[in-house]
Amino acid sequence: MPHLVLLYTPDLEQQADVSSLCRALADSMLEQRDESGKAVFPTGGTRVLAYPAAHSAVADGKGQYGFLYANLRMGAGRSAAVHKAVGDSLLAVLSAHLGELLKRRPLGITLQIDESPGQVYDGKHSSLHPLFNKTV
């Protein structure tokens, strides 16, 4: 964890470079630092996944409306200042990558951040973390 999941209307596939957007969002997450300067998110646990909706209905259906929903799920324990900084950074990346498209057509963007304080199970099995947890 963290996992950032993008769900969007399928028409955005032809109008936006979703792969590039995913990389930029992941890079933004990896750049985040807390108040003590420590990385907010582990490199090996940072994931951005994007899915076009198989079916969608946006607004009144009378226009070519697009929508992108981004949900960041992270473990508990980070400050409100970190939440805001991460959210502001991710929203800035979304706005930058989709800005020209926002000018050309109606498009909604929503970003939500959720913590998992009530987590009852957190199973992991990964060969990714060891790649980044090596001491020099």
Q: Can you give the residue ranges of every domain in the chain?
A: 3-132
For 87-101, letters b (16+ CB in 10 Å) and e give eeebeebbeebbeee
- What is the predicted pLDDT for the residue at 92? 95
Instruction: Provide the CATH number for the domain formed by 3-132 in this structure.
Output: 3.30.429.10
What average pLDDT does the chain have?
A: 90
Note the pLDDT of residue 1: 82
C-alpha 86/C-alpha 92 separation (Å) is: 10
Q: pLDDT band for 22, please (50, 70, 90 cuts).
A: very high
Rg of the chain on CA atoms, in Å: 16
How confident is the model over 31-59, as a mean pLDDT? 95
The string of pLDDT tens digits covering residues 75-120 is: 888 999 999 999 999 999 999 999 999 899 999 999 999 988 666 5
